[in-house]
Every structure is written in structure tokens, then in C-alpha cells.
Amino acid sequence: MTTVETAPAATSLGSVTRPQVEDFLYREARLLDDWDLDTWLALWAPAGTRYVVPCTDDPDGDPATDLVLIDDDELRLRLRVERLNSRKAHREYPHSRTSHQVSNVILGAVEGAGGDAELPVTAEFTVWRFRNGRATYYVGRYYYRLAAVEGELRIRVKRSVLAMTELRPAGDLAILL
């Protein structure tokens, strides 16, 4: 198995290029497919963490007022990873085989300054999930807000918006998108 070892240097978010962001997102996808979730967790910025997946009928859903599928802050994201690493997450024990595919990466203009600066990035995703002879898929768009932490790109916010009109083709969402 090959691993993607280093994140690109990102001393200044304004100078980050699309290939650097793509390398970062590909690395993230590889870690998820390798079920190396502890290393994946280290890709997140230390504060302001938000991992959100809205409901399929409410793609603009606000977790403060609407029901969403996932609304993880730093603590809940860590507990989600602990759950998936355990042998008691029955839906994911044994783990699915997944293929996280990322494309159509578009960088927005940097917002904010200093430590609060964030780089908005959107990308399309297709995530295949195979388990127990069954193949399912998740298709949609990622909305990232990336930060630079000690010269490295980090995820501060990741919002995975499903394009599917219902979750039914996939059944549930026990994996990470």
C-alpha cells in the first residue's frame, strides 16, 4: 500500500494553488479509504471544527434550526472516529471498502485575515461503499473552509451536501463522506 505522506506547505493561504489543495484533498480521501481515521482527524484545524451533512430534502439546512444528518463539532467528530475504530459500531464492523473520489476542485477567495483566515473550496465527490456483497454510493458536493495551521493546510469546516434526492439508494450513512 502506498501512502501520501506530506501535506503541502501553506504558509500563506493566499498563495495556495489548486494543485496543492487537490493534493490535500486526495490525501484526505486516501486516509478515509484506508480507514486511517486517527491520521484523518489530524487533518482538522484544532478549533472551530464543523463537519456537517444536511438532509437530502434540505441541502441548505442550518444545523442550528433544521434537522441534519451529521453536525459534528470537535468532540463529536472525535467520538465518531472512536466509534468507527471500535468493534461495536456494528454497521461498520467489519468496515466497508470505500472509494472516495474527488474532482472539479474550485478555490474561492480567501476570507478573513491572520489565524482566522479561511480558504473556501468546493469539489464534487463520489463515494462508493461496498460491504457484504452490496454496492452503494453517495454523490454530492464538498464545501470546505480550509485554514493554515503552522504552515500546513487544515480543515476547519467540511460540509458534504448530497445530490441524491433521498438517502435510500445508500441505506444509511455510517461512514464518513
Partner 1 sequence: MTLLSSSPAGLSFPLVDEDPGQHRFRVHRETMTSPAIFAEEIRRIFHHSWLYVGHESEVREPGDYVRRPVGGRPLFMVRGAKSGAVHVFHNTCTHRGAVVCRHKSGNAKVFQCFYHAWSFDTEGNLAGVPDREAYGGNLDFAALSLKPVARMESYRGFVFASYDENITDLESYLAGAREYLDLVIDSADGKMEIVKGTNEYCIGANWKLLAENSIDGYHAVSTHDTYFKYLVALGTDLQGGVRGTARDLGNGHAVLEYAAPWGRPIAKWEPLFGEDAKAEIAGLRAGLVAKHGEERASRMADTNRNLLIYPNLVVNDIMSVTVRTFMPSAPDSMDVTAWEIAPRDELAQLRQRRLDSFLTFLGPAGFATPDDIEALESCQQGYASGGVEWNDISRGMDRVPQANDEAQMRAFWRRWQQQMGDAAHKDTTRAAS
Residue 92 in contact with partner 1, rule: CB under 8 A: yes
Which positions from 125 to 144 touch partner 1 by CB under 8 A, shown as an x/- string?
-------x-x----------
Stretch that binds partner 1, among 8-16, 38-46, 142-150, 159-167 (CB under 8 A): 159-167
CA pair distance 40, 31, nearest whole angstrom: 6
Applying CB under 8 A, the site for partner 1 has a residue count of: 40
Label residues 55-77 b or e (16+ Cβ within 10 Å = b).
Answer: ebeeeebebeeeebbbbbebeeb
| Other beta carbons within 10 Å of 175 | 20
Residue 8 in contact with partner 1, rule: CB under 8 A: no
Three cell numbers, residue 175: 461512514
* Cβ-based nearer residue to partner 1, 153 or 160: 160
Q: Specify the DSSP class assigned to residue 97.
A: E
Residue 30 in contact with partner 1, rule: CB under 8 A: no
CB of 133 to partner 1, least distance (A): 10
Contact 151, 162 (CB under 8 A): no
The answer for residues whose C-beta is within 8 angstroms of residue 80's C-beta and 6 or more apart is 72, 176
The residue from 36, 38, 66, 116 that contacts partner 1 (CB under 8 A) is 66
For partner 1, the binding residues (CB under 8 A) are 53-58, 61, 63-71, 75-76, 79-80, 82-83, 86, 88-92, 132, 134, 165-174
